[in-house]
Structure 1
Amino acid sequence: MSKEQREALDTLFRNGPLDIGGDPVQQREIFTRMLTSRPLPEDVVLTPGGLGEVPVLEVGIDGVTPEGTLLWFHGGFYVFGSARTSAGLASNVARRTRTRVILVDYRLAPEHPFPAAPDDALTAYRALLGETRSGDPARIAVVGESAGAGLAGALLARACEQNLPMPAAGVLFSPYADLTLSGASMTTRIAVDPSFTPDAIAVRAKDYTGAADPADPLISPVFANLRGLPPLLIQVGSNELLLDDAVRLAARAAADDVPVTLEVTPGVPHLFQAFAAMLDEGEAALRRVTEFLHAAFTTADVEPNG
């Protein structure tokens, strides 16, 4: 990564109009504009649909027969975002991995606080398992960004607890996995994180948790029992307030005997993978995601999920 690339990305974030701690309705509009302003490539096909009455957006690549399905949860601190705001990154991964992506439009806080999001995630996963086209869990991976990555971790733990078949793998980009906000990086990375502040994150955490305990494992999977989960790939940048969420989630998985790969990329901000076109480290990270998913699907084909 060149110093110029990193500085350009930092400037983009620091000078952006988004105020994470601001009025939810206004900031949702800004968040959506920021993440949908660039047109998707012409070969990307978006198809609205539903999984068990949960709205979803299917992402496919024209001319590509999918070799698997990625059940994908968008970011936005459980307050912002939608399936469409993740379509750019999701379509990039879909093309690289020759998969279709199903982006889940789970309900958002503060209108729909916990447990609306994990309930929607479980409903969607159950429905996907029942699909004739992609019901084989060996051809499914669960993916999430930020809050969506925390949601993906919570979904896997809950599905395992309920004895549902596990997917082949999970990919977690910069997981927001501890809503007690107790990770050391919440303070040690303030100066280098160009996107967020602890106070703003605390506002959004309260929107989501409501009266619930933020240490509930379904809210903060760093406290969950992860035993029995499929192989996980967790990626995070070192310039993130959420750095310790990723590190501690990986440690929790390792302690529970889950095959887990943690990748900390130095000097980059939150969800740097979405900027692969301008950041060498983002491109390299997505190559590793592609390799990881290919290996997970191949292994699952040889040793079917039991």
Structure 2
Amino acid sequence: MTTHPLSPEDAPAVAAMRQAASAHKGEKLGPEARPMFDAMLAATPASADVRVEAATVGGIAGFWLRVPTARPGARMLYLHGGGYVLGSAKGLANFAGQIAARVGADTFVPDYRLAPEHPFPAAIGDAIAAYRGLVAVGAERIVVVGDSAGGGLTLSLLSTITADKTKETVQPVGAAVMSPWTDLALTGDSFETRAEADPIFTRGVLQGFADMYLQGQDATNPKASPLYAELNSLPPIRIDVGDDEVLLTDSSRYADRARAAGVEVTLSVWEGMPHVFQSSIGRFLAAEQSVDAIGDFLRQRLIDASPSISTPSEV
């Protein structure tokens, strides 16, 4: 685990964020909050030269993010957050585009179905369909990225895809998740130890999301909560999380279990940072540092997985 201290440059912005967020901490959010949530995330600056195209992949509508120097055969699948209730591909396009540009891979962001209209397992079913759709249209190397609930969805997807390699023609070569929600049973001790420190979430807010998504189904089902999944044979994973989050132990416990299963895991904990702080590029220096590191990690995974090209020896 690597811990990144809060920088002096970020301290004033973090204090201002906490002040602004304090009046709304603990407010439960439902479908009525979707426009507000999308508008908040759409405020992330767009990356220059990333082209956004509406598309359908694997039967799932969403958006392609086309980068000017895309690696042939390489694709990224980005799964957005929002507690399985909020969020959209369009709302996340700017943020996902920032990562896509750094990775150098054309990226598909699916509009997976949301609760409560479409409860579990709709989201994971759509994520699997989108992944297999990428394979069907020629992807040879795939990395998967997600934030918050999308981070949990990413990790559930990894376990599902790698569970039976005989069914999948293309295995994911790496994944990066930001503040992943890995345990919908909410058993992590950071719900107590970070209850005051977290500027955004409370147990009650996340319980509300879990109730809308699960609708009485088992919170420890591995496809809902990847903390309880089989983790052997997964590709390398990078996890970034804020030290003040109630979801901190969702990251640290998953990392511990994955390492014990032989998975290569990089865990970066950022002091003072809120949930999915990476979307605040241009506001927090740590956001740019984290997104740069995620881009480096995923780009290297795609390079390492590229087929070697032999050239004739010179005579």
- TM-score, normalization by structure 2: 0.88
**CA separation of 1:13/1:112 partners in 2, compared to 1, >3 Å: closer, same or farther?**
farther
Q: 1:1-306 to 2 correspondence within 5 Å?
A: 1-3=6-8, 5-12=10-17, 15-16=20-21, 21-22=27-28, 24-37=30-43, 40-41=46-47, 43-61=49-67, 63-67=68-72, 68-132=74-138, 134=139, 136=140, 139-163=141-165, 164=168, 165-301=170-306
- What do the CA deviations read for 1:225-253 (whole angstroms, capped 9, x no partner)? 01111111111110111100000111111
CA–CA distance in 2 between the matches of 1:244 and 1:270?
13
Question: Where do 4+ consecutive residues of structure 1 move more than 4 Å?
Answer: 16-21
Q: Which runs of 5+ in 1 are unaligned?
A: none
- How many residues align structurally? 299
1:196-247 deviation line (CA, Å, top 9, x unaligned): 1111111111111112100111111111101111111111110111100000
Report SS of the residue matched to 1:264.
Answer: strand
Distance in 2 between residues matched to 1:24 and 1:96, nearest whole Å:
33
Specify the SS of the correspondent of 1:49.
Answer: strand
Q: Shift of residue 170 of structure 1?
A: 0.7
Residue 266 and residue 158 in structure 1: after superposition, are their counterparts in 2 closer, same or farther (change >3 A)? Answer: same
- Secondary structure of 1:270's counterpart equals coil
- Paired with 2:308 and 2:242, the residues of 1 have a C-alpha distance of 33
Q: Measured at CA, do residues 267 and 39 of structure 1 come closer, stay the same or move farther in structure 2, by a change above 3 Å?
A: closer
> Is the CA contact 1:10–1:194 (under 8 Å) kept in the aligned structure 2?
no
C-alpha change, 1:47 and 1:12, in structure 2 (3 Å) is same
Note if contact 2:79-2:153 (Cα within 8 Å) is conserved in structure 1: yes
SS at match of 2:171: coil
Instruction: Identify if the C-alpha distance between structure 1 residues 197 and 36 changes in structure 2 by more than 3 Å, giving closer, same or farther.
Output: same
* Corresponding residue SS for 1:214: coil
Whole-Å separation in 2 of the counterparts to 1:189 and 1:14: 17
**Letter of the structure 2 residue corresponding to residue 248 of structure 1:** R
Q: Is the 8 A contact 1:234 1:263 kept in 2?
A: yes
Q: Which has the higher contact order (CA 8 A, sep 6+)?
A: 2
Pair 141,20 (structure 1): closer, same or farther in 2 beyond 3 Å: farther
The question of whether the paired residues in 2 share the 8 Å contact of 1:21 and 1:204 is answered with: no
Larger radius of gyration: 2
For structure 2, which runs of at least 5 residues remain unmatched after alignment?
1-5, 310-315
For residue 302 of structure 1, report the CA deviation from its aligned partner: 5.5
**Higher mean C-alpha displacement, 82-91 vs 106-115:** 82-91
Q: How many Å separate the matches in 1 of 2:44 and 2:224?
A: 32
Which whole-Å CA distance do the structure 1 matches of 2:135 and 2:185 have between them?
32
Deviates more, 1:90-99 or 1:238-247: 90-99
SS across alignment from 1:141:
strand
What do the CA deviations read for 1:143-180 (whole angstroms, capped 9, x no partner)?
11000010010011011113223211011111001000
1:182 and 1:292 map into 2 onto residues whose CA distance is 30
> Does 73-82 or 270-279 show the bigger shift?
270-279
Q: Distance in 2 between matches of 1:286 and 1:102?
A: 18
SS of equivalent to 1:95: helix
Normalization by structure 1: what TM-score?
0.91
Q: CA RMSD in A?
A: 2.1
Taking a change above 3 Å as real, the CA distance of residues 22 and 266 of structure 1, as seen in their structure-2 partners, is closer
Separation in structure 2 between the aligned mates of residue 21 and residue 109 of structure 1, nearest angstrom: 18
